Structure 1
Amino acid sequence: MATRVSYPVEVKKKAIEMRLDGIPVKEVMDQLNIRNKTQVETWMRWYRSGQWNRLEQPVGKQYSYGKGPEYTSELEKVQAENRFLKQQLDLPKKVRGNAKEVSPKAVVEWVESVRGEVSVTQACAWIGLSRSTYYRWKDAHENPCKDHMVVEKIRELCSQHKFRYGYRKITALLRMERKINHKRVQRIMQREGLQCRVKVKKRKPTGQPAYIAEHLLKRQFEADAPMQKLVTDITYLPFGGKTLYLSSILDLFNGEIVAYSISDKQDTGFVLDTLGQLPALPGTILHSDQGSVYTSQAYQEAVKGKGITMSMSRKGTPADNAPIESFHSTLKSETFYLEGLTCTTTAIVEQTVRNYITYYNSIRIQTKLNNQSPVHFRQLAA
């Protein structure tokens, strides 16, 4: 085991003075007969942090971290405090604050001005900034054209590919030449307006949202009399030459479809046609989802005109309208999927739906109706 060497305080102070004068570490070691360069670096670190007392501690003695330096005299303590206060007063006001408020240029310039007195870690701690952020700002400060070159390269690639690529593909192309983070590429593309322009989502309004009703039905899907509680919804019919839509209204008393419409447009007029098939029904609850066709001013006025009270599902909760959802699923399963009519003509799609609803209401028995059809069950109840 190597013998530890204890250097006099005078040697340590001399080494610090020589380093401050710009003398290389190697020359300092040769002149003062110092074995290891880390010794000189350690003394310089103590000097920068104001820990002069550590120069006098014996070899192997551990310094109590967090208790502060132990000064050998009152004068040394006052000098250290004055030095600390001077550095704090020299800190520009524009540098103080969190990382979102400070000026990167001001931070870099100030830290560089005090590096001869304190370490970067301590300087960053005073202004509440991480070392990694400081070095990132310093790199940007010393290489101002570096980010500009990246922006121009991204702009060139986006233009070359006619804005067909998003930030992931642009990052992949950049990585063929340099190392770059995909988040940086994404930020630059968003800031410069260079995002992918393929398949931009276009939404055509199908109604003007005017009124959203409370959830009055509350999943109570039983009714004591016909036309007491009704549920309605729209489903897609993508089985013909063009997509059709089915709007239907179901009576919760017996599960009968009391009104329906088929159209190639999902607009307010479509659901108004279905609603128009109902008579005036004072006190009846009609439940739907929060689709724009149901919240539109025209539909709300038509519902009130028939004396009907509107109820709507909670947003993103299709189970609140489970009976009509179940009917639409059953219709498709027992016709188009069962008979393989997934690619046919528009006329056949319409006729298939009309035939099934007639069959569903008048012939198809249901267990919950004591194995009777909806129409038969209603007739017996009357």
Structure 2
Amino acid sequence: MSIKTFTEKEMKSLLKNPNVKAVSPKGITYTDDFKRYFIAQNQAGKLPRDIFEDSGFDIEVVGMYRVQAAGKRWRSAYRKNGLEGLNDTRKGNSGRPRERDLSIEEKYARLKAQVNLLKAENELLKKIDLAGKEANEKEITLSAEQKYVLIRSIITKYKLKNKVQYLCNVSQISRSGYYNYFHSSSQKRRQEREERDEQLRGIIMKAYQFKKRKKGARQIKMTLAGQFKIVFNLKRIRRIMKKYEIVCPIRKANPYRRMLKATQEHRVMPNLLKRQFKQEVPGKVLLTDITYLFYGRGQKAYLSTIKDGSTNEILAYQVSDRMTMDLATETLLKLKKNRRFKKREGALIHSDQGIHYTHPYFQKLVKKLGLQQSMSRRGNCWDNAPQESFFGHFKDEANIKSCETIEELKKEIKNYMIYYNNYRHQWNLKKMTPVQYRDHLLKIA
């Protein structure tokens, strides 16, 4: 229950009562004689309300809650120390001195405290504002914990007392949060959390650097589950990556144009696939394409792949430093030699309308392998999206630029293909690797 405050008029009225020494908007200081009179009358059986009214107090002005609280306080003091306990010796309760009653030294100390508070407030706001400007430029923010530390340092610097609430309001943080932050148990919990996060960082870095291929949060989650048999929540992994600035490669749009248009003798095939990439049957949907690779000191190479649309497994690939027809046809021949590849009924190979795939020799070889041929619509990369996606991930994760020769490049690509097929877990493959998912589909077939 809140105690009523007094108006100026009520304060003047109360000061006229001889039983009152001083009045403030929030309280009354009574004379020691009135306290002794109250105890005597109360012990004789008189009620506190009646005692106050008989002494000239207006209960509506004083408030019944204040009357009862004062009576309870005086009775307790009397039981403990007798009449001596009713003598009010607390600082300021003999009547708080007015400003004019302060000494020169007291006035100077008060002014100095006010100046220090203004300096502290100005410094606090300046540092928060500066951090905000840096946040806009560098994408960082001043956390509540940083504000807590900043406030404590300013309080210590300017020797402020009882100004935590005020500075917390200025900083737009909670006072309870400030005290909780510096509580010994909270500091212990933070230390324990930091130690746990360091351990998690070590585990996550093992997955991040597994097979020397950098990974994103989902890849890390699947690698931990598949290779290390550790299950982590995806949000936890992202929190640790953000905290320790573990950055995964960012895929960028391919800046290179597609190959030249086909000549008159080349023939474009219809789009038989119609984006039905996932048919849950290994060896039925094959996707192929060619991409550019830059390595060493501006050297260029080309990579041709054939990918299983259902399992994402790379069934065949060919690397060359020249863009010739052999690049595409050799990839087909390697597919034929792949013992793991089992052609299914109605199997087709899908590509874009590149010059290699519209060439009569390539189309003849496709028929010889017993495959149907399908092509994306012109200028529509979405018709072969999974293959484009693979190239994007490959360029992000493979260490291509570090290769100095074509032989080093081929070795790196070979290592990556082994990693991709056998160790790289994929979210849309039920968190399995392509080879695991292929075996899974064959079991349930």
TM-score by length of 1: 0.43
TM-score by length of 2: 0.38
